[in-house]
Structure 1
Amino acid sequence: MRILFCTTPGHGHVLPMLPTAWALRSAGHEVLFTTSGPAGPVTGAGLHVVDVAPGLDVGAIFGRHFASFSGYADAQRSTPRVDFEPFVPVFAEISDAMADGTLEVARRWRPDLVLHTNEQGTGPLVGAALGIPSVVHGYAFATPMSATLAVGEHMAATYTRHGAGAYKAPAAQLDLAPPSMRVDVDRPAAPVWPMRTVPYNGGAALEPWLTRRPERPRIVMTLGTANREQDNIRVLARLVELAAGLPVEVVLLLGNLDGGSLAPLPDNVRAYGWVPLHVLLDTCAGLVHHGGAGTALACLAAAVPQLILAQSGDQFLNGAVVRDRGAGIFLDSDEVDADTLHRLIADEGIAAAARQVSAEIAALPSPAEIAVRLTDLVHGEGR
């Protein structure tokens, strides 16, 4: 069986699909990704990917729709909720830009099944054009199927141009949200298949300290892959200052940020570029982060308390969901003080809730079990 994965550019969209892809690959199936931009996350996992829109400037597309986001962050900060509407034209334009290349690959490679993120319109397009089932691959606490439909409606001219008929609802929806934290935003257009989160952040040669639990509680701080450099440096500088006087060890994961302005760092703080977060979580007492869904789910899977400092998009909703479940703290970065960092690692109520959710995640079907269901779906046994 051949499975095509269609994903929007960005680590947060690509990485959650890789364990599913490897489960299928390990079961003997062929797997191929289509996306645009850097291929590192996929090729680093030993899988194949085609850049179907070379040179696509996703940032420029967001910029063209900038007016649509006026007041969005402030509204989400005061009342976090699922509101995908402003993003539909953005992801429809991204999907349109990827459509020709994706269909060219699909018609040549002839997949039996296509998996796609809910905002990536090329997956349903391939399904309609080739007459094969499509499956939505969730990566967050909410997977709004209305957004998938809305993107498809925006792509009506592309469907017509490719002779694909009209948008067709997916055959199933893979859901990574823990049962007690799933956000239902609309009536599912397809059967929902819960699946266990298997955190993946890439492979690496591990330094010995990464696998050792330190003498003092370790707090990891990261602000994700979608860097807003000036804001992030300001937030990290304040966090470092707050942590300097605490009996903790702090690990900063800077990604592509230039941390030069943070120097000199206190004796209890060390900074790195990229480190596999899911490995580091095994040795840490708490994580401070931006509220990305993948990071939040990785924390929950590892039963690690988290402090979420949301910046944009669904990060506010993610922070509220984690807070309401009791598994972490959700604050504006300016509200954080030294007592907040102490509470992160000392509050037994937060730790207990994190352990409960971790047990929920562990009880969900694994990607390997889902791979069997996807095979049955293609063969007409799992609809």
Structure 2
Amino acid sequence: MRILFTFIGGQGHFWPLVPIARAAEAAGHTVAVAGSGKLLDVVRGAGFTAFGTSDPHPPGGDPNTGLRDDSPLEPADREAAEREFADNFAGRGARRHATALREIIGEFVPDVVVRDEADFGSAVAAERCGVPCATVLVLASGALLRRDLVAPVLDEVRAEHGLPADPGLERLHGALVLSPFLPSLRHPEHPLPTDAFLYRPGDAVPVRARHPRPQVYFTLGTVMGGASGDLIERVLAGLSKVDADVVVTVGSKLDPASFGPQPPQVRIERFVPQATLLPTCDLVISHGGSGSLMGALSHGLPSVLLPLGADQPHNAEQAVAMGVAVELDAVEVTASDLADTVDDVLNDDLFRSAAQRVQAEVNALPPATAVVPLLEGLLH
């Protein structure tokens, strides 16, 4: 079987596809990945045949490396983020991908398309080409995708490709919905589809005790770090007051040296694989991105969340309601606020116990290999 995995946007939309893609390859299927031309090296570096849906970086690498937007942070605006998501992903992005993916489908001739949840254009292309399509959810709380905003924008793209309107988005998710997120993480107004298949992206992680000396991991993901104002400096100042060992990742576009000398217990890196850091951690400080939050919970770790935009405020709301996180205002938080909150969460067993309950639920899910027979079944 030939399977085409597709994603739109950044690495946070690519990596959720990887466990299923690798499981499919291990089962003997032919796999390729289509996504942003700027991420072709990332896709190939992960071991997959890659198709670009946009122009790649020019020779010499990313011209934005080392650049930083020092503008003051604006408060996260959920309504604006929801409208921007509809305009960007269901409008401009879907229009670009619907055309690009029809060409790639014609070239690769897949039996099945597996798309990231936000890649609306691939759903249009697969439907137009008559190829079965599965959807991998990438939005933990689900609340960023508002049907009333997405449907009318996407219907314009559907019409351009000769497809009927889909005002209820019944056709959008395709034949199969795959969720690495537990129902408890979903916003009450955006529950999982009743037929969604829940799976565990990685290996089951044994529950473990806290380290004798606390270990803290701080990240703003692969995208947000360069547009976070002075937030990283404020967090670093707060962490310098915490009695813990700290690892900070700032993304490939920022130079760790630009943040100046740090105390011996604080280490700043561009990137360290989350999978290698989380087993050593007791607390994660993050922006509340879906991947960062689920990574922490799969290891039974509580979080301190500083949402900046996109689906992060929605995810933070659910995590706080579950008792696994504390949310701080990224615009207003001071170094002292951050230090006090980190100390409180590290020393309150209720947060860790709640996170470990979620971890047990995740461990009980079937692995990504269980998805492969479902994809094979789409041919029948």
TM-score, normalising length: structure 2 = 0.83
Q: Which moved more, 1:87-96 or 1:189-198?
A: 189-198
Q: Aligned pair 1:269/2:266, yes or no? A: yes
Deviation at 1:75, TM superposition (A): 4.1
Say whether the 8 Å CA contact 2:118–2:138 is kept in structure 1: no
Q: 1:271 to 1:197 in 2, by over 3 A?
A: same
* Structure 1 Cα separation of the partners of residues 222 and 34 of structure 2: 20
Does the residue aligned with 2:224 lie in a helix, a strand or coil?
Answer: coil
Match of 1:179 among 171, 179, 183: 183
For residues 108 and 194 of structure 2, the distance between their equivalents in structure 1, rounded to whole angstroms, comes to 26
Name the CA distance, whole Å, in 1 between partners of 2:54 and 2:86.
Answer: 19
Whether the aligned pair in 2 keeps the contact of 1:82 and 1:185 (CA below 8 Å) is: no
Among candidates 226, 231, 237, match of residue 233 of structure 2: 237
Distance 1:309 1:138 in 2: 22
The offset of 1:118, in angstroms, is 2.3
Q: Identify the residue that residue 155 of structure 2 maps to in structure 1.
A: 153
Q: How does 1:170-249 map onto structure 2 within 5 Å?
A: 170-186=174-190, 191-198=195-202, 216-229=213-226, 231-232=228-229, 234-249=230-245
Letter in 2 for 1:113: V
* Residue of structure 2 in register with 1:296 after alignment: 293
Instruction: Name 2:31's counterpart in structure 1.
Output: 31
Q: Distance in 1 between matches of 2:81 and 2:264?
A: 43
The whole-number CA distance in structure 2 between the counterparts of 1:28 and 1:265 is 48
- CA 1:112/1:136 → structure 2, altered by over 3 Å: closer, same or farther? same
The amino acid across from 1:310 in the alignment is P
Matched, 1:332 2:334: no
Q: Does 1:343 align with 2:341?
A: no
Q: Contact conserved, 1:82 with 1:317, CA < 8 A, in 2? A: no
> Which residue of 2 is the match for residue 107 of structure 1?
106
Q: What SS is found at the alignment partner of 1:198?
A: coil
Q: Is residue 218–residue 284 contact of structure 2 (8 Å, CA) maintained in 1?
A: yes
Once residues 304 and 33 of structure 2 are traced to their aligned partners in structure 1, the CA distance between those partners, rounded to angstroms, is 33
User: Residue 259 of structure 1 corresponds to which residue in structure 2?
Assistant: 256
For residues 357 and 25 of structure 1, do their structure 2 counterparts lie closer, same or farther at Cα, with a shift above 3 Å needed?
A: same
CA distance in 2, matches of 1:230, 1:361: 32
Helix, strand or coil at the partner of 2:114:
strand
| Structure 2 residue aligned with 1:210 | none
Post-superposition shift, 1:228? 4.7
Q: Residues 141-185 of structure 1: CA distance to partner in whole angstroms, max 9, x if unpaired?
A: 23448376455313034313xxx6666441121112123222354
CA distance in 2, matches of 1:275, 1:133: 36
Describe the SS at the equivalent of 1:378: coil
2:39 aligns to what SS in structure 1?
coil
Once residues 153 and 115 of structure 2 are traced to their aligned partners in structure 1, the CA distance between those partners, rounded to angstroms, is 13
- The 5-angstrom pairing of residues 37-52 of structure 1 reads 37-52=38-53
| Displacement of 1:344 | 2.5
Match of 1:308 in 2: 305
**In structure 2, what is the equivalent of residue 116 of structure 1?**
115
Deviation string for 1:17-55 (max 9, x for gaps)? 111111111111111111122223321221111012215
The alpha carbon displacement at 1:214 in A equals 7.3
Local SS of the residue matching 1:266: coil
Which residues of structure 1 form unaligned runs of 5+? 58-71, 200-212
Query: Which segment drifts farther, 320-329 or 336-345?
Result: 336-345
Q: CA deviation at 1:87?
A: 1.9
Q: Tell me, what secondary structure is at the counterpart of 2:5?
A: strand
Q: Structure 1 residues 154 and 186, CA, compared in 2 at 3 Å: closer, same or farther?
A: farther
Percent identity of paired positions between Structure 1 and Structure 2: 26
User: 2:308 corresponds to which letter in structure 1?
Assistant: Q
Aligned residues: 345
User: Is contact 2:255-2:270 (8 Å) kept?
Assistant: no
> Matches of 1:236 and 1:3 in 2, distance apart?
40
Report whether the alignment pairs 1:368 with 2:364: no
Deviation at 1:189?
A: 6.9
- 1:138 Cα offset (Å): 0.3
Q: Let me know the Cα RMSD of the aligned residues.
A: 2.7
Residue 89 (str. 1) matches residue 91 (str. 2): no
State the distance in 1 between where 2:322 and 2:92 align: 35
State whether residues 119 and 148 of structure 1, in contact with CA within 8 Å, keep that contact through their aligned partners in structure 2. no
* Residue matched to 2:141: 142
Shift, 1:247, TM fit: 1.7
CA spacing shift, 1:277–1:150, aligned 2, 3 Å: farther
The one-letter code sitting in structure 1 at the alignment partner of 2:320 is R
- C-alpha distance 157-180 of structure 1, shift in aligned 2 (>3 A): closer
Amino acid at match of 1:126: A
SS across alignment from 1:38: helix
Q: Distance in 1 between matches of 2:286 and 2:255?
A: 17
Deviation at 1:122, TM superposition (A): 2.5
**Paired letter, 1:352:** S
- Secondary structure at the aligned position of 2:161 is classed as helix
- Indicate the residue corresponding to 1:282 in structure 2: 279
Task: State TM-score, norm by structure 1.
Answer: 0.82
For structure 2, the residue ranges without an aligned partner over 5 or more in a row are: 59-73, 204-209
